Amino acid sequence: MLAEVLLLARKDLRIEWRAKVALGQVAPLTLLIVVIFAFALDANAPLLELGAGGLYWVAILYGGTLLTQRSFELETEDGNFDGFRMSSMKVHSLFLGKALALFVQICLLEIVLGPAILLFYDVQVANWALLVTAGVAGTMAFSVCGVLWGVMAAGLRVRTTLLPLLLVPVLAPVLLAGSRAFETALGVRADAGWSWTSLMFVISAVHTVVGLGAFGFLLEES
Judged by the rule CB under 8 A, the positions of this chain that interact with other proteins are 4, 7-8, 11, 14-15, 18-19, 74, 77-80, 82-83, 85-89, 91, 216, 220
Report the residue number, 18 or 124, with the smaller CB distance to other proteins: 18
Residues 76-80: contacts with CB under 8 Å, at least 24 apart: 76/154, 76/155, 76/159
Helix ranges (DSSP H) in the chain: 2-19, 21, 27-40, 45-73, 80-86, 91-120, 128-154, 159-185, 193-221
Report the residue number, 19 or 192, with the smaller CB distance to other proteins: 19
Report the residue number, 15 or 202, with the smaller CB distance to other proteins: 15
Q: How far is the CB of 113 from other proteins (least distance, A)?
A: 25
Q: How far is the CB of 75 from other proteins (least distance, A)?
A: 9
- Complete DSSP assignment for 183-218: HHHTTS--S-HHHHHHHHHHHHHHHHHHHHHHHHHH
How far is it, in rounded angstroms, from Cα 35 to Cα 151?
32
Report the residue number, 13 or 31, with the smaller CB distance to other proteins: 13
CB 33, CB 61: distance < 8 Å:
no
Report the residue number, 78 or 190, with the smaller CB distance to other proteins: 78
How far is it, in rounded angstroms, from Cα 94 to Cα 4?
8
Q: How far is the CB of 209 from other proteins (least distance, A)?
A: 20
Q: How far is the CB of 29 from other proteins (least distance, A)?
A: 20
What letter would DSSP give residue 79? Answer: G
Q: How far is the CB of 204 from other proteins (least distance, A)?
A: 26
Could you give the 3-state DSSP secondary structure of residue 26? Answer: helix
Q: How far is the CB of 112 from other proteins (least distance, A)?
A: 21
Report the residue number, 46 or 79, with the smaller CB distance to other proteins: 79
